[in-house]
Amino acid sequence: MKTAQERIYKIYTPLSLSVSVDFKGTQVKQSFKQDETGDAAYTPNRRLTPTVILPVVRTYDKEGIFRTGIVNDLISDIHWYEGDVEIASGNDYIIDTSNSTNKGMLTIYKNSPVNGTIKLKFRAKLLDDRRNELIDIAINDISLPATPSSGDQYNITVDVPSACYYNPLDGEASLTVNAAGWRGGKGTTALTYELRKVVVSGAVSDRAITDTDYEVISASGSVFVFDIRMINEESYIVIGKVSGVEMARTGFTIKRKYPAWNAKQTGSAEIIPGQTEVSKKCIVEAPNGIVTNPLLYFSMIAFSVSLKNGEMNWGEREELRINPYVAGFTDGSYIGMYFDVNEIPALDVGMDEDGNILVDEDGNRLLI
């Protein structure tokens, strides 16, 4: 008697796969001398001492059917990319395609850009013949940077704090910022300077100064002059260049900051019935002493506790004068006084209807 035969299928579990990077003892980072050009400026010079990158592919099969260990000789469809551009073997790179444990290895003869980075990524496939499927292999963001030699680096300093505050109540009009260049801890005159404005629009970036950045009075050499009356808060970058190539940068912010004030009244706060007017002087205590007349910077408000009526004086005189009968004070009552900062807005250039900037008789811009 014949028996029916059945096909038996075995389902294998996926391979355990790991990928690492072996630089084969070569240098990934480069340094360069900023006053030299060409490949000789680099240490190491990859034209003479290349960097080697080997993606190491390992597998483990708990069922013991697929080979366990390094399986580089089994990978296929090998691709290397610099950024998004595929690499081909040539003067700058050589890709090992031999069926050995070095398969997929990249030898790099190209030097990284000055103050920049070569970014590489690797792609390949591995056939799992137990499950008849291709496994994708990927390594992203292998970086090969080039930075100035430690004793050769440029840097810039400015003679203002990174957060530069000014008090608009002091009547200051301008701020001068001086930049200085350094190299290896010593002053240098090799740098040329550019002032740029920081822009925050999603990501932080910077742009060149334009004719509509009216707060920049001048930017000449290493000296930058600002009309701080036109600034609420702005940030700037100073870039130092050699032969048009950026070597260093630093930044600073200019912002206004009102100081802390304590205000109080002087003398008695009692209104005597029959008085037609009462006068109270404002005394303002500042960290550097007492200011008896804050002028246009404070409002002074008097009120009775019961009626909450009063009169506001925006510093037209140093005393607050009220008529108690107009204000509703018909009996003797306590007058409370308090003071609010009247902040001065940043100024802007005056323009006519056609957008032309208004100037005075001497040609100076009119600020409003």
Shared domain check, 173 and 287:
no
pLDDT band at 8 (very low <50, low <70, confident <90, very high): low
Give the model confidence (pLDDT) of 200-258 as tens digits.
877 889 999 998 999 999 999 999 999 998 988 899 999 999 888 888 999 999 988 76
Residues 115 and 40 in one domain: yes
Evaluate whether residue 360 is within a structural domain.
no
Both 215 and 269 in a single domain?
no
What span, in angstroms and rounded, lies between the C-alpha atoms of 181 and 192? 9
CATH number at residue 67: 2.60.40
75 within some domain: yes
Structure-model confidence comparison of residues 333 and 26, the more confident one:
26
Tell me whether residue 7 is in a domain. Answer: no
Residue 5 lies in a domain: no
Instruction: Say if residue 123 is in the same domain as residue 39.
Output: yes
Q: Write down the mean pLDDT value for the chain.
A: 78
Q: How many CB atoms lie within 10 A of CB 40?
A: 12
Full-model pTM: 0.50
Whether residue 252 sits in one domain with residue 232: yes
| 288 located within any domain | yes
Tally of domains in the chain: 3
Helix, coil or strand: residue 89 = coil
| Separation CA 129–CA 140 (nearest Å) | 26
**Looking at the structure, do residues 93 and 134 belong to the same domain, yes or no?**
yes
Say which residue, 43 or 271, is predicted with more confidence.
Answer: 43
Q: Are residues 158 and 192 in the same domain?
A: yes
**Residue in this structure with the two tokens 């008695």, named with its chain if needed:** 268
Q: Determine phi and psi for 245, rounding to 5 degrees.
A: -100, 130
Is position 6 within any domain? Answer: no
- Dihedral angle, C-alpha 65, 70, 75, 78, nearest 10 °: 160
Residues in a beta bridge with 182: 155, 187
Expressed as residue numbers, the domain containing 308 is: 262-341
Are 353 and 235 a contacting pair, CB within 8 Å? no
Q: Do 243 and 177 fall into the same domain?
A: yes
Give the Cα separation of 49 and 111 in Å (integer): 10
327 falls within a domain: yes
pLDDT at 336 over 60: no
Instruction: Tell me how far apart the alpha carbons of residues 228 and 210 are, in angstroms, rounded to a whole number.
Output: 17
**4 is a domain residue:** no
CATH of the domain at 159: 2.60.40.10
| 162 and 137 assigned to the same domain | no
Same domain, 74 and 199: no
**Which domain-ending residue is among 150, 172, 198?**
150
Query: Do 237 and 182 lie in a common domain?
Result: yes
Q: Verify that 43 and 125 share a domain, yes or no.
A: yes
